[in-house]
Amino acid sequence: MDVSPLAKRNRVFPRVVGIATATPPNSYSQRELLDIFGITDQRIRSLFMNSAIDRRFLTLPPEEEDGGGRRMETQGELLRKHRASSVEMGARAVREVVARTGFDLSEIGYICCVTTTGLLTPGLSAHLIKELGLSVHTSRLDVVGMGCNAGLNGLNAVAGWAGAHPGRPALMVCVETCSAAYVFDGTMRTAVVNSLFGDGAAAVVLMADPVGLLDLPESGIRAEGPTILKFSSCIIPDAIDAMRYDWDDDQGKFSFFLDRDVPYVVGAHAELIIDRLLANTGVRRSDVAHWIIHSGGKKVIDSVQINLGLTRHDVRHTTGVLRDYGNLSSGSFLFSYERLMAEGLVNAGDYGVLMTMGPGSTIETALVRY
């Protein structure tokens, strides 16, 4: 394999030091959810049962006091659920990743919080700084409303901060309480969303390490992740409304919408963005050993796999996360990354591509080397 021109540059690239994930306590099969909500429409039941999802973690609406099923939450209740669940899950993921890597919470210099499934002012970063007892001088950023692709938008910002502050750990937290964004109106529009998304959080620590501290056993830091080499973005303005989260006047709530053409729009642009990512790097598509692709849904995964010529093995973690968690929006690709690292099949020098898709319509990518 050719030596990448990236490796010849006199620059310290940030490295992913570690990752941890968190979910709500309860998960449900697709059939259990259909029964809980009393859904008898055969079109909707077929949609749920053919989603390639086995189970999802969700915080369901409370039960009616008279035993008449689940009570539909108001928009205010949904926003409060988003805040409580996001702070709890996000804090749990952060504590876990900091403990795994051997850092102390007091060492975190930067925190970037990513979420789309609820509105918070002040942002989640402020709530997590208070909840975790981080330094009041911690630099912070909230990435809000960018959808499933936003994990890589946030990672780009965190990598930039880490590269500008060598030796200081930076943190990204993707938290999505998708159950705080559900609307139940019996239509196929909302059924598509309700059949797909789950709740979850993922936290990663990054650090630029010009002196090799991460490789010294006596440092007490346990680093296992790749170096981030490059990001590349693609927005498809003609499909700006294909994925959106906007206000439903009839229901008096925010509501997600996914156009039926989303898989084809994403698939048609997959090669374009990957070619742009690898341009001038010396890395060919055949050199990429690990593909971490957002678990956007069965048809989206199939479309990306076909257009990039990937095997079922290449997308095994993407399909595995969809099966076990559903679509976790911005944090999905990090759940797949965690599985890849736990698998133990990554070799030093391997190249990997991270790829997410979301509203805009957009595709975000990153090239990494292990």
- Active-site annotation, residues: 148
What are the DSSP calls for 97-157, one per residue? Answer: HHHHHT--GGG--EEEEEE-SS--SS-HHHHHHHHHT--TT-EEEEEES-GGGHHHHHHHH
Pair of tokens at residue 69 = 């099923």
**Cα dist. 46→38, 254, 297, 319 in Å?**
14, 25, 15, 19
Question: CB count, 10 Å around CB of 293?
Answer: 27
Pair of tokens at residue 65 = 């006091």
- Between CA 338 and CA 18 the distance in angstroms is 9
Q: In terms of DSSP bridges, do strands 170-176 and 200-207 run parallel, antiparallel, or are they unpaired?
A: antiparallel
> CA nearest 331: which of 209, 186, 153, 160?
153
Pair of tokens at residue 15 = 């490295």
